[in-house]
Chains A and B, each alone.
Chain A
Amino acid sequence: MPTLTRRGAAAAAAALATVLAAACAPGSSGDEPESKAPAAVSTDVAKAGNVTLTVWDQEVQGGQKKQIEELNKRFQAKYPNVKIKRVSRSFSDLQKTLRLALSGSTPPDVVEANQGYASMVQYVKAGMLLPLDSYDKVYGWSKRYPKGLMDLNRVTKGGKLMGSGDLYGVSLNGEIVGLYYNKEKLAKLGVQPPKTWAEFDQALATAKGKGEVPIAFGNLEKLPAMQLYGILQDGMTDKEAVRKLVFGSGGSWTDASNVQAAQKLADWSKKGYFTKDSNAVKWDDTPVNFAKGDGVFMFGGTWWAAELSEKMKDKAGFMLPPAAQAGAPAATMGGESLPWSITSKSKHADVAAAYINFITSPEAMDVSVETGNLPVLAASKQPSEALLKEVSGAWAELSKNDGVTPYIDYATPTFTDAFGGPLQELIAGRKPADEVMKAAQDDYTAFQKKK
């Protein structure tokens, strides 16, 4: 038996070696997709014949889900020849599967591809997304949007840098990460909504002293801690420095103020200001807990506002994170929701562009307001609910001050693990702030070198 095995194995190995030597190396150089000239773009969807447009979005939560369903309904009513096949999945499921699907043989036509070096830049590099500049010229998106927001969805040729170059997507909703607070609880504690970080610290201490959970926080996915870190960083560092750092054009994660932000996070955790065992609590459970009354404050995106407004009515408040000094302009992370992009293999690029144009039109902005969301552009309608009014006010104030900083997970393709993981350790009290920031910097340096 043993000799046979050996002989069989040797024969099999030899045969395989021959075959494999003949087989080529995996992968191929992706052709750079060329967008057609503006003149060749057809904007007449009705003439496109019967088209099924496959659209992937991540709008599974209350308000956003309603918004997209409504927009899709209206688009299909307007163009009965188009059928939208909507595939929606949660943000993290979309992140996990989009890469697979885009490189697959039949990718969807329209996708929400997150900004940043982890997603959009990589897809552009591989030639999977269609440059939209011709469509921009035809539809005039650049005139609709402020330059800063458009630039977030731009990537330079060959996927080198984000923030400039060709346009690869257009966003529908605005979003910022701000501070939610429970008005009822604040009143009971006798605390005013904090204007400065010092006041905020005071409020947290008071809440803790009265046996409340000061900050509702769920960090199972690592990303929440990165957002919280980003807010603290915005409170301690100049916003321009943050932008440069994230986009890869200067600065270091180990700079004193960046380490200080991590230290603040560690201090809060040590003082017990967060939900217990926050590393085990799911991100999506955070607003649920907050609405139930487990938490006086909560840092979170405007994407939770519709749901919270429904559950808490006017008990919930929203504000920009405190400023370093009273009266100073605040800065926080945000910008716009995931951009809608067209895949380079799509057979219905013109229809897809018309769809994107439709869902970012002034009409769509009104739908956004009606469904409790924060439209990226000014809408003709105003929200009626108290919380949504506050959200909309905060967005306006931030835009006026040019206070939007990019999400820090844009920085490298592996940042969620490389920085988010150590942040979990920081929160668990297992790693000091300087080591955590060094881990972030190591990953950042490695990526900059590869680029």
Chain B
Amino acid sequence: MTTVARRKTPKAGRAASDRRAARPGSGPPGEPGRIGWLYALPALLVYGAFLLWPLARGAQFSLYHWDGLGEATWAGLSNYTATWTDPSLRGAFGHLLVLIVFYSVLPCCIAFVLVAAMSRTKIRGLTFFRTVLFLPQVVAMVAVAVAWRWVYSADGPVNTVLGWLHAIGLPDWRHGWFGDFTFALPAVGVVGTWVGIGLAMVLFLAGVQKIPRELYEAARIDGAGAVREFFAVTLPGLRRELAVALTLTSIMAIRNFDLIYMATSGGPGDATKVPAYEVYNRTFNTGEVGLGCAIGVTLAVLAFAVTAGIRRLVEGKDA
């Protein structure tokens, strides 16, 4: 979850700078000129040395074959080609796409239902529900992984419930979830859904409160039911929040290292390998540092593209 909010903000920044541009002549107080740089310098130094510099070094490493121990040899772009030609890496990026559905699309859908439930009628204990539903966001992913390993274990709650269902005549749906080739990836995905719901819900809840009540009243006078009301009023009103929620949760899916490392290590077979895990695995387990860096750089580009892409998708309609 570390990830989540660190990267949530581009939109607000854009809004703020637009405002500034729209307000010419409001000159700043205080000493003008270079003192601004002086204030920004400490942050810039740390940021440059420990974020931008490693990023550049990562890009440099990605152009070499290197086992991390001995000498490196020039590789050109072959590490990047390998991310597409190596079947297990291609698989990892494929898994990422599946996980984005679970981490991003599903939580948003569920959050819409929850927000509808919260806003259509008066709810007792709204704060309580909000606090509880958001809770998975603040628990360390490492602890989340430990908890879900138990949830999915052979005699854990999921299999127990499925056992009851089997006892009353339904087929036997029990599985060793994290060790099953078909179900391990969705099982990981469900954990992501579980974590993401709270974030999406809180975003939508704030957005809904900004939608003018008259729109809802008008819709009701027109005889709109809950469903039509949602598509006619709520969804258009939440477009902006939806974009933010999709961005944040997609980036969570991209940065899915902790859970995979703790819960499945990419197994069974390669079934839950994801790029974030492969960065670590290739670098430190199999000694392909250049390839690990190439995956890392690809992930950074992907994260940037998702942020920019979703924003454009949603805001494009305004233009």
Contact = CB atoms under 8 A, between A and B. Distances in A.
Interface of A: 1, 16, 19-20, 23, 25-30, 95-96, 99-100, 103, 122-123, 125-126, 128, 219-222, 276-281, 413-414, 417, 421-422, 424-425, 428, 430
A1 B64 CA distance: 35
A428 B181 contact: yes
B64 A424 contact: no
Contact of A23 (B60, B64, B66, B270): B60
Contacts of B64: 25-27
B289 A30 contact: no
B180 A27 contact: no
Contact of B17 (A1, A25, A30): A1
A414 B69 CA distance: 16
Given A26-B289, A96-B284, A280-B179, A126 B267 contact: no
Contact of A20 (B56, B70, B269): B56
A27 B71 contact: yes
B56 A222 contact: no
B284 A100 contact: yes
A122 B67 contact: yes
A430 B183 CA distance: 14
B175 interface: yes
B70 A421 contact: no
B287 interface: yes
B117 interface: no
Contact of A220 (B59, B267, B270): B267
Contacts of A424: 181, 267-269
B267 A99 contact: no
A25 B72 contact: yes
Contacts of A279: 176, 179-181, 267-268
A422 B88 CA distance: 12
A430 B70 CA distance: 39
18 contacts: A1-B21, A20-B57, A20-B60, A25-B64, A26-B72, A28-B70, A96-B284, A122-B67, A125-B70, A279-B267, A280-B175, A280-B176, A280-B180, A281-B176, A413-B286, A417-B270, A421-B268, A424-B268
B92 to A, nearest CB: 12
Contacts of B176: 276-281
Contact of B284 (A19, A28, A99, A126): A99
A29 B60 CA distance: 18
A26 B66 contact: yes
Nearest to B56: A16
Contacts of A23: 57, 60
Contacts of B181: 279, 424-425, 428, 430
Contact of A277 (B69, B71, B72, B175): B175
Interface residues on B, range: 35 or more
B56 A30 contact: no
B204 interface: no
A25 B180 CA distance: 42
Contact of A125 (B56, B60, B69, B284): B69
B80 interface: no
Given A280-B178, A280-B180, A422-B269, 13 more contacts: A20-B60, A25-B64, A26-B289, A30-B69, A99-B285, A122-B69, A125-B70, A222-B268, A276-B154, A277-B154, A279-B179, A281-B179, A413-B286
Among A16, A103, A422, find the residue whose CB has the most chain B CB atoms closer than 10 A: A16
A26 B69 contact: no
A28 B71 contact: yes
A25 B61 CA distance: 8
A281 B154 contact: yes
B200 to A, nearest CB: 29
Contacts of B70: 27-30, 125-126
Contacts of B285: 95-96, 99
Interface of B: 17, 21, 56-57, 59-61, 64, 66-72, 74, 88, 152, 154, 175-181, 265, 267-270, 284-287, 289
- Chain A to chain B: the 10 pairs with minimum beta-carbon distance, closest first: A280-B179, A280-B176, A277-B176, A126-B69, A279-B179, A421-B269, A27-B72, A279-B268, A424-B268, A16-B56
Nearest to A218: B179
Given A16-B56, A26-B66, A27-B66, A277 B287 contact: no
A27 to B, nearest CB: 4
A19 B49 CA distance: 13
Contacts of A100: 284
Given A29-B70, A413-B287, A222 B267 contact: yes
A109 B71 CA distance: 24
A424 B267 CA distance: 9
A373 B178 CA distance: 33
B284 A280 contact: no
A425 B269 contact: yes
A414 B278 CA distance: 13
Given A16-B56, A220-B179, A103 B269 contact: no
A100 B88 CA distance: 23
B270 A421 contact: yes
Nearest to B265: A221
Contacts of B284: 96, 99-100
B201 to A, nearest CB: 31
A25 B193 CA distance: 42
A340 to B, nearest CB: 21
Contacts of A222: 267-268
A277 B180 contact: yes
Contacts of B265: 221
B56 A19 contact: yes
Contacts of A281: 154, 176, 179
A128 B69 CA distance: 9
B60 A220 contact: no
Contacts of A277: 154, 175-176, 179-180
B291 to A, nearest CB: 12
Contacts of B60: 20, 23, 26
